């Protein structure tokens, strides 16, 4: 590399399919995106990154990586097991690469909140030769203990002296999010900690590593709060041609009134009816897809003038057939569910939605979680999101921005002045 050339930085994201603690963990969703998609997005948003590759042994992970703009390295079986090291994945990536980069980054998708600015700063540290390796750490002001031969022993502090938090220097915990390394040094030493080491501090609140289901639940809560607080936060743009909904727990509260003669009755939201009518007027196809066999489902469908498929045990197959028969693009279909038997169908469409009081599993599978509970206007909320998206698109088409300040996409997808 000449002094005038920018260094080539290769990001490698290990993502095997054999996670034990959380099966297919790398495809778990947080904030509407998979862990893998979030990692790829952070890498691609980092200006100094030249290439992003995902090393995997799983076809579903491979498809997800390609869909989000990363290249894929098919990982051989000998480095795909539990005992394989991250270093072995990096060495394999360098071995199969058509060109040797100057820097290599190990980026792990089990860290769902990687800030591209932080990664860029770490890359700059190694590029400027201030360190051979720079990795993410989070501050830790805690008092640490360990079991000793007889009782507990203090680690790194005097148990008889308890200074205030602000009076004691923090330790730093390795987060596992990213490791930026000089390639020459890495190839010489073949492990990630060599030469001069530098730490890049990241906020402790976002330094979460996903190892278990509880970690996923916490990450989803953090993502929801971050989205709610984000400047300019707005509802998603649901560009769809069809809305398919479950019935119980979506059109209704997830309860039923049982009469002494065995008949059941449910409560529904009148506002849903208006939402359904507005969608029908806009030409949006609709379907109620339910496992329930009670005649109340068909009665409500007739009232709303929506076709109904009920008594369906395999919702995914029924939905796939329904979309195919109508030549619908699954990417432009929304499915609104609330429980575990909706997850298969949700996985087939571009816009899986969940009501606010849905089961955690259904919420996790959703690209967007509504604010309203089932039976309390959730269907109307979904309808308004779809309709507002159409209205916005119509406005943009009718009144395009023609001011001199408008931007057009550049050759690499970044905005540049027109």
Region 212-218: mean pLDDT is 85
Region 348-353: mean pLDDT is 92
Confidence bin at 366 (pLDDT 50/70/90): confident
Confidence bin at 52 (pLDDT 50/70/90): very high
CATH 3.90.550.10 fits 9-141+168-229, yes or no: yes
Percent of the chain with pLDDT over 90: 59
Region 117-143: mean pLDDT is 95
Residue 215 has what pLDDT?
A: 87
pLDDT tens by residue, 157-174: 888 888 887 787 788 999
Answer whether residue 231 shows pLDDT above 60.
Answer: no
Answer whether residue 357 shows pLDDT above 60.
Answer: yes
Give Rg (Cα) of the chain: 26
Domain with CATH 3.90.550.10 in the chain: 9-141+168-229
Answer whether residue 226 shows pLDDT above 80.
Answer: no
Instruction: Give the per-residue SS3 of the chain.
Output: CCCCCCCCEEEEEECCCCCCCCCCHHHCEECCEEHHHHHHHHHHCCCCCCEEEEEECCHHHHHHHHHCCCEEEECCHHHCCCCCCHHHHHHHHHHHCCCCCCEEEEECCCCCCCCHHHHHHHHHHHHCCCCCEEEEEEEECCCEEEECCCCEEEECCCCCCCCCHHHCCCEEEEEEEEEEEEHHHHHHHCCCCCCCEEEEECCHHHCCCCCCHHHHHHHHHHHHHHHHHCCCCCCCCCCCCEEEECCCCCCECCCCEECCCCCEECCECHHHHHHHHHHHHCCCEEEEECCCCCHHHHHHHHHHCCCEECCCCCHHHHHHHHHHHCCCCHHHEEEEECCHHHHHHHCCCCEEEECCCCCHHHHHHCCEECCCCCCCCHHHHHHHHHHHHHHHHHHHHHCCCCCCCCEEECCCCCEEEC
Neighbouring residues of 308: CB distance < 8 A, sequence distance ≥ 6: 287, 288, 290, 297, 298, 301, 302
Residue 2 has what pLDDT?
A: 47
Residue 6 has what pLDDT?
A: 78
Q: What are phi and psi of 88, to 5 degrees?
A: -65, -35
Percent of the chain with pLDDT over 70: 89
β-bridge partners, 245 = 288, 336
Residue 409 has what pLDDT?
A: 28
pLDDT tens by residue, 94-119: 999 988 999 999 999 999 999 999 99
Region 121-131: mean pLDDT is 97
More confidently predicted of 235 and 14: 14
Answer whether residue 280 shows pLDDT above 80.
Answer: yes
Lowest mean pLDDT among 95-99, 150-154, 183-187, 367-371: 367-371
CATH architecture of the region 242-398: 3-Layer(aba) Sandwich (3.40)
Region 341-365: mean pLDDT is 90
More confidently predicted of 246 and 143: 246
CB 256 within 8 A of CB 288: no
Residue 406 has what pLDDT?
A: 30
Answer whether residue 404 shows pLDDT above 60.
Answer: no
Confidence bin at 417 (pLDDT 50/70/90): very low
Answer whether residue 20 shows pLDDT above 80.
Answer: no
Residue 396 has what pLDDT?
A: 57
Domain with CATH 3.40.50.1000 in the chain: 242-398
Region 1-6: mean pLDDT is 60
Region 395-417: mean pLDDT is 39
Residue tagged 């530098």 (tokens): 198
Record the tokens describing residue 95, joined without a space: 């071995």
pTM of the model: 0.65
Q: What is the mean pLDDT of the chain?
A: 86
pLDDT tens by residue, 56-66: 999 999 999 99
């Amino acid at each position: 590399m000449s002094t005038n050339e920018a260094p080539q930085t290769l990001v490698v994201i290990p993502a095997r399919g054999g996670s034990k603690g959380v099966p297919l963990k790398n495809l778990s969703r947080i904030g509407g995106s998979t862990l893998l998609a979030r990692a790829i997005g952070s890498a691609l948003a980092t200006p100094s990154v030249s290439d992003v590759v995902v090393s995997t042994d799983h076809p579903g992970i491979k498809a997800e990586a390609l869909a989000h703009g990363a290249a894929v390295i098919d990982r051989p079986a000998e480095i795909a097991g539990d005992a394989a090291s991250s270093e072995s994945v990096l060495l394999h990536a360098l071995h199969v690469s058509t060109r040797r980069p100057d820097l290599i980054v190990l980026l792990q998708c089990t860290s769902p909140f990687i800030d591209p600015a932080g990664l860029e700063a770490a890359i700059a540290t190694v590029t400027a030769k201030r360190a051979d390796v720079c990795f993410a750490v989070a501050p830790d002001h805690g008092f640490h203990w360990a079991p000793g031969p007889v009782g507990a022993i203090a680690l790194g502090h005097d148990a008889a002296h308890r200074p205030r938090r602000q009076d004691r220097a923090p330790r730093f915990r390795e987060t596992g999010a990213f490791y930026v390394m000089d390639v020459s040094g890495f190839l010489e030493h073949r492990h990630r900690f060599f030469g001069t080491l530098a730490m890049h501090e990241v906020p402790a609140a976002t330094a979460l590593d996903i190892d278990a289901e509880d970690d996923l639940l916490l990450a989803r809560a953090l993502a929801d709060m971050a989205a709610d607080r984000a400047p300019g936060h707005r509802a998603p743009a649901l560009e769809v041609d069809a809305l398919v909904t479950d019935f119980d727990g979506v059109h209704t509260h997830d309860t039923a009134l049982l009469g002494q003669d065995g008949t059941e009755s449910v409560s529904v939201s009148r506002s849903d009816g208006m939402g359904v009518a507005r969608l029908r007027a806009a030409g949006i196809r609709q379907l109620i897809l339910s496992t329930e066999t009670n005649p109340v489902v068909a009665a409500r469908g007739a009232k709303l003038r929506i076709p109904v498929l009920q008594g369906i045990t395999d919702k995914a197959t029924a939905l796939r057939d329904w979309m195919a028969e109508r030549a619908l693009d699954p990417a432009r279909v929304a499915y609104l569910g609330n429980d575990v038997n909706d997850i298969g169908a949700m996985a087939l469409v571009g816009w899986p939605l969940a009501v606010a009081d849905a089961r955690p599993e259904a919420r996790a599978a959703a690209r967007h979680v509504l604010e309203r509970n089932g039976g309390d206007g959730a269907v109307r909320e979904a309808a308004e999101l779809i309709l507002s998206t159409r209205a916005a698109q119509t406005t943009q088409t009718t009144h395009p921005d023609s001011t001199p300040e408008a931007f057009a996409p550049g050759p690499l997808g970044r905005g540049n002045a027109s």
